[in-house]
Structure 1
């Protein structure tokens, strides 16, 4: 039996850390843009070369048309222009709104509180040593199916911490606030410092029952060491098939404002997970992009 693993304290990035990550991200984007411009310039050169070899429109019009050309031209003119969405996700405004309205896509972080009317049922799927053993029923069923599939591949995945009630979150936040009060901080400063470690009640993703902290016999700690396990490698390859995404990726810390957490996985549903993973965006970026698309319609 493995010893019970205490729940990790989430650390929000400092402003200096955010600035450094944003600077590195900007450098990568500039490099990518430069590459794209070079490719585009090559494409324009190719088109100009091709155009020089094509007969002029007047010369082409002087040649007799085949008998079937007129009907084909008429048919072509009757085909509607491509009306597919031009945004990066290929979604219409209505489709974006529908995704935003999906309860599985609720965004909960230190600036987005879980809706007060957000209700759900829970079901137990935690390991014997789990701190919080339940998830939303749909997320729980998906995790159990994923756990079974991993076991068939010789990999053990445990759910170590799942749904936390707002009441439980309140207790964690108040204890951390009291810790800083005891250090001599005033009430406002103590709450601010506490919020950098433990999200205030309603602002933790665990409160919505869709977040699962995972571990394995290889590495029972909920820390970055989990990324070196077969369980993590298996999750990266297969979790999306069961509706889970890596919630706090390494390259998105300036967007999530949460340090890289290879153990923290979020259930969004199979179709949503496929879309998010295909986009290459973290959850915050994906939700913002949906909001931008929805606002266009």
Structure 2
């Protein structure tokens, strides 16, 4: 699913009013105008041939009329409106991502066995900018959705301390003891090609990739969103590997669950988890934590709303082995708390929610 123009407008509206509440009404007006212009342009393009026929007919009738006179001006006026200049503005910083990693796109998998690496390249960034149609009802719905999401994601301040909510989508707890709720819904956004994640985290994801690149670290996304069938396949394959080595099914199941999350309890399935490697380290193992990329993520990921979900020394709490490559989006406020206090999401829930 591509991020559309109206998604861009929504994202710009939401981010702006979070920082500047007094701009809510001006941004509302601007959003409506931009969406209306987008719809007009699309309609004009769709029916362009009709307008050409009508204009040509009127021009011919006017010129051929015996009592008409024509005055031709030397000057020309450009009536075109450069929508793309606005459209790319909010993602202009992603230009730094146009540096393609010079690595062999071999297959890597979770836990020694490779998973396919897909690189972000400059051509596919244009795919994010595909325009979409919008109606008057859509305009109202988009603004209402922005207000709702803003209210849900907002962190209230009380006595100077942040207050968090269990209902915040950013903080949803997913693990073996807390499987994904059947009514959990989210919208996928495209990172590149077939690579997707929750569309709400893409702006912060891009900001993090750009910041790392500016610091000389070329991060590479290798495993974002997974659907149910893929997660099941990965888990079953791991179980089969251990049973082939002589383990019973229950033994294999238990060991597999320490390296591959049980289907239905993986954060990859809700689009909030991203596995990262770098252009000079393409293995998903503990050694990634000792690389420049691993150290950069451990130090800076929280600044963009991400945490190292399964930190070293917390295996008894998370139930998952140390995974320095596995990032989880929780929002900047919560990520700062988790980072500063060196706690897991499970501990965060127990303490703050």
TM-score with structure 1 setting the length: 0.61
Q: Distance in 2 between matches of 1:235 and 1:170?
A: 28
Aligned to 2:169: 103
2:317 equivalent to 1:255: yes
Q: Distance in 2 between matches of 1:169 and 1:157?
A: 23
Change (3 A) 1:196 1:222: closer
Q: Distance in 2 between matches of 1:90 and 1:263?
A: 30
Which structure exhibits the higher relative contact order, with contacts defined as CA atoms closer than 8 Å and separated by 6 or more residues?
1
Aligned to 1:8: 110
Change (3 A) 1:118 1:189: same
Aligned to 1:116: 182
Counterpart secondary structure, 2:349: helix
2:339 equivalent to 1:273: no
Tell whether the 8 Å contact from 2:258 to 2:321 is kept in structure 1 after alignment: no
Tell whether the 8 Å contact from 1:245 to 1:265 is kept in structure 2 after alignment: yes
Counterpart secondary structure, 1:115: coil
Tell whether the 8 Å contact from 1:5 to 1:222 is kept in structure 2 after alignment: no
Change (3 A) 1:276 1:183: closer
1:33-48 mapped onto 2 (5 Å cutoff): none
Tell whether the 8 Å contact from 2:258 to 2:319 is kept in structure 1 after alignment: no
Structure 2 residues not aligned, in runs of 5+: 1-102, 113-157
Q: Distance in 1 between matches of 2:290 and 2:111?
A: 21
Counterpart secondary structure, 2:209: helix
Aligned to 2:235: 173
- Shift of the alpha carbon at 1:263? 0.9
Tell whether the 8 Å contact from 1:247 to 1:264 is kept in structure 2 after alignment: yes
- Shift of the alpha carbon at 1:102? 0.7
TM-score with structure 2 setting the length: 0.52
Aligned to 1:26: none
Structure 1 residues not aligned, in runs of 5+: 11-83, 292-297
Match of 1:210 among 256, 266, 272: 272
Please list the CA deviations of residues 209-261 of structure 1 after superposition, one character each: whole Å capped at 9, or x if unmatched.
Answer: 11111111121111122122222222223211111111111132221122211
Aligned to 2:55: none
